[in-house]
A = this chain, B = another copy of it.
Amino acid sequence: MPASPAEEHPVAFDDPHYRAAVVDLLGAIGYGEVSAFERLAEDAALAPTLEDKLALAAMAAAQVGHLVRLRDRLTELGADPFEAMESFRVPIDDFHRHTAPSDWHEGLVKAYVGDGLAADFYREVAAFLDAGTRELIVESLEDAGHSAFVVDRVRADIARDPRLGGRLALWGRRLMGEALTQAQRVAAERDALSALLAGGVDRPGLDLAALGRMFTRITERHAARMQELGLDS
């Protein structure tokens, strides 16, 4: 049941294009979290120790907590939350199919680098949104300190086996390439989202130069994450 727009929504939601873009964005983040849950649960199954297994399971469980809040917000906006998420099933599933980790370490790097990339992108987009939506998105992307576990494990294992570092550096580049491919596909297919980035009559948007700077920021943060893991980007 949609909530009363006047009570629940800031003025921006009076614009149906804005509302459609927010539903799209929350749907994309939501399906991304469904998918992250499934991947982290698979990684947990591969964990070498029970302690590692619990760490991965806790990362998976955190996704579910975020997902429940996104679902409730989509419902408040009068959208079918599962339909909103379904729209992003194909590109996100394709991303995961094309970057299926072949072992425990690739899974760890993907959890850290892949989720980091997605989170940076969504945070950049959130800067264009009303405060309530922005806050929900930023909360949904919190990792509750679980990344420290990944950094710790990967660095320790590279110290034991330096060849692992070379292999995982290549893996990180592949993750970045595949993420860009799927992001371009989403941009081409989802008009409401692209229009949001381009701005509206009463909302600032991104010109080509600003889009370039956003891309540079995302790339730099990716490089910083790779360095954090002890990997060349």
A40: nearest chain-B partner, CB-CB: B41
Contact of A37 among B31, B57, B67, B86 (CB under 8 A): B57
- Which positions 1-52 of chain A face chain B at CB distance < 8 Å? 31, 34, 37-38, 41-42, 44-45, 49-51
Copy number of this protein in the oligomer? Answer: 2
SS of A interface (majority): helix
Cβ B57 vs Cβ A67 within 8 A: yes
Taking the complex as formed, is A53 at the interface, i.e. its CB lies under 8 A from any CB of chain B? yes
Q: Which of B37, B44, B61 contacts A38 (CB 8 A)?
A: B44
Question: What is the interface residue range for chain A against chain B?
Answer: 20 to 34
Q: Are B54 and A67 in contact (CB under 8 A)?
A: yes
**Bound Cα distance A37, B37 (Å):** 12
- Report if A71 contacts B (CB, 8 A): yes
Residue numbers in B under 8 Å from A38 (CB-CB): 41, 44-45
26 contacts between A and B (CB under 8 A): A31-B50, A34-B53, A34-B57, A37-B44, A37-B57, A38-B41, A38-B45, A41-B42, A41-B45, A41-B60, A49-B82, A50-B82, A50-B85, A54-B64, A54-B67, A54-B68, A54-B71, A57-B60, A57-B63, A57-B64, A58-B64, A60-B60, A60-B64, A61-B61, A61-B64, A61-B65
Closest A-B pairs by Cβ, 4 of them: A41-B41, A61-B61, A61-B64, A50-B82
